[in-house]
Structure 1
Amino acid sequence: MQLGKTQTLKIAEKNTSGLFLESQTGERAFLPKIFADENAEIGDEISVFVYQDDSALKATTEIPLCEVGEFAVMTCVQSLPSGAFMDWGIIKDLFIPYKQQKGKILEGKRYLVYVYVDDVSDRITGTTKFKRNQSYDNVPFKKGEEVNLIIAGESEIGFNVVVNKKYLGLIYSSDVFKKLYPLSEETGYIKTIREDGKIDVTLQKQGYENNHDEFQQKILQKLEENYGILYLSDKSEPEEIKQELQMSKKNFKKAIGGLYKDQVIEILEDKIRLINEE
């Protein structure tokens, strides 16, 4: 039986309180009646999440925010001197011992939490202490692959992120063209898997050819919002372009070049203008 994982188990016994579920190795977990199908029969299989309640194994059909070996953003529901209890989406709160807190966890606040099974107690445990920009072996990503990101926080060279709930990676400052907020979720793309096993990601698909429609549409939208005039040109500073359009100067120049070629805009000394606007 996999502790802290969603798995399929077989109903081995029923009573008035619920169901006893059994793994192929004979281990059992109890599924309370509140989560059980009243029409379930012995021998039926059911998908459940297995956790501990005191010394007993229990099961639930609830879906946790994350499983063992994954990260999630959780809210603290109770903070004690010994540790904090976090809401992770199931009936049993997740415990983070005081020694596993990077900083004092406060009730009602949200934190990025990693879930693991403690080697000493053999219990599911949470921690807010983890090494940023980790190195990994056999990373299951390829360059350009779309991934889900959780923004972990800002670093000296960019933003630390969680990739697909399982891996820690980095977005360099040079690849950030929008305001990012800690604990928010974003869509990203694998930029590179370094030789040392570290993961670099970006918020935009690599290569202008993969984004030109998006860049041009963003420029056209801004032009429409500003009555056909945008006070940016190929001579504008990169920071001005980044602040206004959340794109690099290189991509901006290529985008307006394409719009100019298609006779959609005209490029003036200090601005661009829609041709159909006077």
Structure 2
Amino acid sequence: MQLGKTQTLKISDKNNSGWILTDESGEKAFLPKIFIQEDKEIDDEIEVFVYQDDNKLKATTEIPLAEVGEFAVMSCVQSLPSGAFMDWGIIKDLFIPYKQQKTKIVEGKRYLVHIYVDEDLELITGTTKFKRNPQYQDLPLKKGDKVDLIMMNESELGWNVVINKKYIGLIYSSDVFKKLYPLSEEIGYIKEIREDGKIDVSLQPQGFENIDEFKKKILDRLEENYGLLYLSDKSSPEEIKDEVQMSKKNFKKAIGGLYKDKIIDILEDKIKLL
């Protein structure tokens, strides 16, 4: 049985309270009646998430915000001296012991949480303490991959981020062209996986082959501004960043392509749709 993971189990028995589910080894988990699907019979398979409740394995058809080994933003539903209970999307709340809280968790507030199994207690547990920019091996990522990001916090180098709910990376300040906020979600791109296993991320695709995305952003802004945008290849990097959230290099490539395609005209202090 994979604790804290979504998996496919077999229905081995039924009673008035729910179903008994088993894995290939014969280990059992209980699925309460409220999650039962009436079209299922004995020996049918069902996909469930397995968790613990009162030292017993239970299952749910609910989808958690994150599984063991993943990060998610969660709200605190109750804070006690011993720890905090977090809403992680299923019927049972996730417990974060006081010693696993980076700062005291306050009821009603949202926090970035990592889920793991406490090896001593063999319990699914949450923590708000995690390494910044850890070193990874054998990553299922490559340069240029489009990824989902959760913004962690801003540092002297830039922004620490969670990549695809599993990995921590860094967006350097030089690659930030928009206002960012802790716990917000963004789309990013793998910029570099370094030899030491650390991950550099960008908010924009890299290279000329991805220039279409920048072209679209400029066209969208032109349409919003009645076909005129008071930017040109002579505008400052700061002006371009504020207006279209991209580097001057990518802006010049994009408007060059749009001009070549006879979509825009480039004037002294502005560009306009043709």
Distance 1:31 1:239, change over 3 A: same
**In structure 2, distance between residues paired with 1:43 and 1:205:** 48
1:177 alignment partner in structure 2: 177
Cα offset, 1:232, TM superposition: 2.1
Aligned Cα RMSD in Å?
1.7
Structure 2 equivalent of residue 233 of structure 1: 232
Counterpart CA distance in 1 for 2:146 and 2:262 is 33
Query: Aligned equivalents of 2:163 and 2:89: distance in 1?
Result: 20
Provide the rounded CA distance (Å) in 2 between the counterparts of 1:261 and 1:128: 51
- 1:5-154 superposed matches below 5 A: 5-154=5-154
| CA deviation string 1:88-118 (max 9, x = no partner) | 0110000001111111111111111000000
Deviation at 1:218, TM superposition (A): 2.6
Displacement of 1:200 in angstroms is 1.1
Q: Tell me which residue corresponds to 1:2.
A: 2
The answer for unaligned runs of 5 or more in structure 2 is none
Measured in 1, the distance between the counterparts of 2:265 and 2:39 equals 70
> Measured at CA, do residues 245 and 18 of structure 1 come closer, stay the same or move farther in structure 2, by a change above 3 Å?
same
Cα distance change of structure 1 residues 15 and 217 upon mapping to structure 2, 3 Å threshold: closer
> Could you tell me how far apart the structure 1 residues matched to 2:110 and 2:43 are?
41
Counterpart-to-counterpart distance in 2, 1:73 and 1:143: 26
Measure the CA separation in 2 of the matches of 1:156 and 1:48.
42
Counterpart AA for 2:134? Q
Q: CA deviation at 1:170?
A: 1.0
Shift of 1:262: 4.0
Could you tell me which residue of structure 2 aligns to residue 248 of structure 1? 247
Q: Which one-letter code corresponds to 1:45 in the other structure? A: E
Q: How far did 1:229 drift?
A: 3.5
Distance 1:224 1:64, change over 3 A: closer
Deviation at 1:268, TM superposition (A): 3.6
Report what 1:196 is aligned to. 196
C-alpha separation in 2, matches of 1:217 and 1:39: 48
Scaled by the length of structure 1, the TM-score of the pair is 0.93
Aligned counterparts of 2:162 and 2:115: Cα–Cα separation in 1: 13
SS at match of 1:233: coil
Q: Structure 1 residues 122-131 or 33-42, which shifts more? A: 33-42
CA offsets 1:140-161 (integer angstroms, 9 cap, x no match):
1111111111111212111111
Instruction: Summarize the Cα distance change of 1:225–1:32 in structure 2 as closer, same or farther, 3 Å threshold.
Output: closer
Q: What displacement does 1:264 show?
A: 4.1
Distance 1:42 1:207, change over 3 A: same
Deviation string for 1:9-67 (max 9, x for gaps)? Answer: 12222111111111222211111111112343322221111111121111111111111
Structure 1 residues 101 and 266, CA gap change in structure 2 (3 angstroms):
same
CA separation in 1, counterparts of 2:37 and 2:214?
Answer: 51
Residue 106 of structure 1 aligns to a residue whose secondary structure is coil
Counterpart secondary structure, 2:76: strand
Q: CA deviation at 1:263?
A: 4.3
Q: CA deviation at 1:177?
A: 1.6
SS at match of 2:111: strand
CA distance in 2, matches of 1:222, 1:45: 51
2-structure distance, mates of 1:174, 1:126: 33
Higher deviation after alignment, 12-21 or 219-228? 219-228
Sequence identity (%): 77
Normalising by structure 2, we get a TM-score of: 0.94
Q: Secondary structure at the match of 2:216?
A: helix
Distance 1:214 1:149 in 2: 18
Distance 2:6 2:72 in 1: 16
Q: Distance in 2 between matches of 1:267 and 1:43?
A: 68
Q: Which residue of 2 aligns with 1:165?
A: 165
Q: How much does 1:193 deviate?
A: 0.8
Letter in 2 for 1:214: E
Distance apart, 1:244 and its partner CA = 0.8
